[in-house]
């Protein structure tokens, strides 16, 4: 088949135009892909920065609470032990001397225990189950209200960061209950499935309107914190009935 020069020109021109269109399409796709990569990288950087910010804030809050606890222990517990030891040792009675030595040894143990809490070593050593039991026991010791703790969970190993966040969230939930709920019972339960850990904090107090914006900031902070470690918070509350907060943390 013989082509006229004009036909050959149009065929070549069409080929060039098609090649330019293909090249332009490829360039556009490459640019879009790079933009998506940049957006993804920026998103990951933002998530990492938010995670680090949350962890620093959580560590500071736990340290502040620990210092407050230590101050109270020094005043109420250790101070009394040392005062009693002083009074005992001032007596010439040999039995009192032995009792004084026992009290001093007890005071030394208390100081060592408190020194560990000045950093976050206690968080590494304590299990989540023991922490929850201890917090509820303190509430009962204060005479605030009754508590219940139920779990079918075997002792679990959690990353320190995840444990820190969970500890702080549970502390915040309990603090909010004691400040606002006026309950007769605080109930905490742990359940473990194949792929997740469920922690439920519930009370039979006053309850509140979950749509009340004045109470939204504290809830938002709790949700943000659990989300930084890949978890989820579910809240339900009925005025006059009580409040339930469920924390869901997936296992890797």
Q: Is residue 85 part of a domain?
A: no
Question: What CA–CA distance (Å, rounded) separates 103 from 78?
Answer: 10
185 belongs to a structural domain:
yes
Please give the Cα distance from 172 to 184 (Å, whole number): 18
Q: Within a domain: residue 74?
A: no
Asked, for residue 6, whether it belongs to a domain, the answer is no
Q: Can you give the CATH number for the domain in which 207 is found?
A: 3.30.565.10
According to DSSP, the β-strands at 196-203 and 242-250 are antiparallel
Q: Which two tokens stand for residue 222?
A: 């709790």
Q: Is 201 contained in some domain?
A: yes
What's the pLDDT at 196? Answer: 85
Q: How open is the CA angle 198-178-250, to the nearest 5 degrees?
A: 15
* Full DSSP string of 146-214: EEEEEE-PPP----HHHHHHHHHHHHHHHHHIIIII--SEEEEEEEE-SSEEEEEEEE-S----TT-GG
pLDDT at 247: 95
| pLDDT on residue 133 | 92
Q: What is the pTM of this model?
A: 0.64
The pair of structure tokens assigned to 226 is 């659990």
Per-residue model confidence as pLDDT tens for the chain (252 residues): 555 667 766 777 777 888 888 888 888 888 888 888 888 888 887 777 777 777 777 777 777 777 776 776 676 667 777 777 777 777 767 677 777 778 788 788 777 777 766 666 777 888 899 989 989 998 898 888 999 999 987 777 888 888 888 988 998 899 889 888 999 999 999 998 877 899 999 999 999 888 877 666 678 888 888 988 889 999 999 999 999 999 999 876
- Domain assignment present for residue 191? The answer is yes
pLDDT the model gives residue 118:
67
Give the helix/strand (H/E) hosting 233: strand 232-238
Domain count along the chain:
1
* pLDDT attached to residue 184: 94
Domain-embedded: residue 114: no
The whole-number pLDDT of residue 159 equals 84
Q: What contacts 206, CB < 8 A, 6 or more positions away?
A: 180, 181, 182, 239, 240, 242
Closest listed residue to residue 202, CA positions, set 150, 245, 152: 245
Task: Print the domain residue range for 144.
Answer: 127-250
């Amino acid at each position: 088949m013989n082509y006229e020069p004009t036909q050959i020109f149009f065929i070549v021109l069409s080929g060039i135009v098609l090649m330019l269109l293909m090249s332009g399409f490829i360039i556009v796709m490459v640019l879009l892909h790079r933009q998506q990569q940049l957006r993804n990288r920026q998103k990951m950087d933002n998530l990492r920065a938010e995670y680090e910010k949350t962890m620093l804030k959580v560590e500071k809050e736990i340290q502040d609470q620990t210092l407050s606890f230590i101050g109270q222990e020094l005043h109420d517990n250790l101070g009394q032990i040392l005062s009693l030891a002083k009074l005992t040792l001032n007596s010439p009675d040999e039995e009192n001397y032995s009792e004084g030595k026992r009290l001093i040894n007890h005071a030394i143990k208390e100081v060592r225990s408190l020194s560990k809490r000045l950093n976050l070593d206690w968080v590494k050593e304590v299990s989540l189950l023991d922490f929850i039991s201890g917090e509820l026991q303190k509430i009962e010791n204060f005479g605030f209200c009754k508590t219940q703790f139920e779990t079918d969970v075997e002792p679990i190993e959690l990353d320190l960061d995840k444990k820190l966040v969970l500890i702080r969230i549970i502390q915040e939930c309990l603090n909010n209950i004691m400040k606002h709920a006026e309950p007769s019972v605080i109930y905490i339960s742990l359940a473990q499935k194949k792929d997740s850990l469920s922690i439920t904090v519930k009370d039979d107090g006053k309850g509140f309107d979950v749509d009340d914006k004045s109470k939204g900031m504290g809830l938002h902070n709790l949700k943000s914190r659990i989300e930084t470690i890949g978890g989820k918070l579910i809240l339900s509350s009925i005025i006059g009935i009580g409040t339930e907060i469920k924390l869901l943390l997936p296992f890797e």
